[in-house]
Amino acid sequence: MKIKNWQIGLTTGLTAGAIAILLQSSVSIPKGATPVKPFAQKRYLGTWYEIARYDFKFEKNLSDVSATYTLNPDGSIRVYNKGYDFVKGKWKESIGKAKSVKDPRTGRLKVSFFGPFYAGYNVIAIDSGYRYAMVAGNNLNYLWLLSREKTIPADIQTAYLKQAQALGYDVSKLIWTKHERSS
């Protein structure tokens, strides 16, 4: 059986595409970052308000951003994100799911909004009352400061910003989320 050049090209292209998809959906943590341990997943459930974030295309032009986490019957976590697109003048929402990367007692999760493609969701700081958290993505391009309320105390904010800077984040690039509406 003779293999034609177009068959080799197609096979090579499909393989390269599959590898690219796998690399883009990798679940990692920024160098030097440590996930919270011990981490109580059930205490983390509920609603969190976004205080600040690194901007990226899925949250572009959003204010009033919140995320609500609930337990699914299979043990995974349902992720319901909502924000107000102040340019288009309407609410935007997305539903995904999260799972522990290995140990549910460690703040390393993987989250998916697009089928089998997961990204890192790493809780790298949380207070003892589970009221304030800092979450890192796969790398230094993703960072969120979260609160159970629409504000965060100055001392917690300062501590989280110092921790983020020590990891290599440029905190001057954070978008500070406004909370002016209720849905």
CATH of residue 77's domain is: 2.40.128.20
Three-state SS for the chain is CCCCHHHHHHHHHHHHHHHHHHHHCCCCCCCCCCCCCCCCHHHHCEEEEEEEEECCHHHCCEEEEEEEEEECCCCCEEEEEEEEECCCCEEEEEEEEEEECCCCCCCEEEEEEECCEEEEEEEEEECCCCCEEEEECCCCCCEEEEECCCCCCHHHHHHHHHHHHHHCCCHHHEEECCCCCCC
Domain-located, residue 112: yes
Domain-located, residue 127: yes
Number of separate domains in the chain: 1
Domain-located, residue 114: yes
Domain-located, residue 49: yes
Question: Mind listing the pLDDT tens digit for each residue in 82-131?
Answer: 999 999 999 999 999 999 998 999 999 999 998 888 999 999 999 999 99
**Structural domain of residue 86, as residue ranges?**
28-176
Domain-located, residue 156: yes
What's the predicted TM-score (pTM) here? 0.84
Domain-located, residue 148: yes
Domain-located, residue 105: yes
Domain-located, residue 92: yes
Does the pLDDT at position 15 exceed 60? no
How many C-beta atoms lie closer than 10 Å to residue 156's C-beta?
18
